[in-house]
Amino acid sequence: MDNWITRSCDTFLDRIGRRLAGKLNRPSSGYIPFTPSDFDTLCRVLQPGDVVLIEGRERVANAIKYLTQSTWSHAAMYVGDALPAPDGGAEPHRLIEVNLGEGCVSAPLGKYASYNTRICRPVGLTAAECQKIIGFMKDRIGLRYDLRNIFDLLRYFFPTPPVPVRWRRRMLAVGSGDPTRAICSSLIAQAFQSVRYPILPESRVPEIGPAMDPDQRDLLHIRHHSLFVPRDFDLSPYFQVIKPYLVESFDPHLLQWDETLPSA
């Protein structure tokens, strides 16, 4: 009986969550990306294992950007040609991401051709480690979205007092904890943690005891994956920010400028 009630409650919450997700995924009115990516250059520069940050234009993106004090509201992993080719000559799926109300899915890179994006590249991974990270993401395609996270986000669409800065990150870390559900940045964080690659680890000085080497370096402690948000890959000292224009022998002298004076 208890199991039946639990399943019924989960089904009811899933149904409500999907309806709310549809509303939160609606585009914000008047959004225009300030610096949209050069899509052709982006395609040439990306490498498997890169994290692609996206400035979303949906209503939910505004809540995430507010809570994280960041331009970036979404993260996806570029996996190159690791996924099967689609039928009918459609654009290959080279991204794996977690979408609100949808779960972990693959997507074509062209989905974000007109968005403001940023490439964050892990440095120093072996080819085997990179493949393990990509395999981790591939194996989780089909995971459901953590619908409790939708209810957490929904409160920011109603008039409320401002949320103190120190609480905002925690507001996005109160999902169900169900391993069959995920949010975009936490799943990517888990993938890198599977090969012990750092994102923003905590550094703690060990207590010096009788047998402790006083010159021992600080110990790094892994943060729980639910605490990661998209901007953490941008802030991490272990991910290189790749600017596509600068990768391909950028020459400022070749730029053509409009010589008319800008209007005030």
3-state helix, strand, coil in the chain (%, to 5): 40, 15, 45
Which residue is associated with the tokens 């919450």? 13
State the chain's maximal CA–CA distance in angstroms.
76
Q: What are the sequence ranges of the domains in the chain?
A: 2-205+220-247
Q: For residue range 139-160, list pLDDT tens digits in order.
A: 999 988 766 666 666 655 554 5
Quick check: 174 pLDDT over 50?
Answer: no
Report the alpha-carbon distance of residue 229 to residue 244 in Å, rounded: 23
Pairing of strands 181-182, 144-145: parallel
pTM here is 0.76
Averaged pLDDT for residues 111-117? 91
Domain 2-205+220-247 bears CATH identifier 3.90.1720.10: yes
Angle at 129 between CA 127 and CA 131, to 5 degrees: 70
Report the alpha-carbon distance of residue 229 to residue 221 in Å, rounded: 18
Closest CA to 77 of 98, 109, 41, 52: 52
Report the alpha-carbon distance of residue 70 to residue 64 in Å, rounded: 8
Q: For residue range 200-251, list pLDDT tens digits in order.
A: 876 655 555 555 454 444 444 456 666 688 899 999 999 999 998 888 778 8
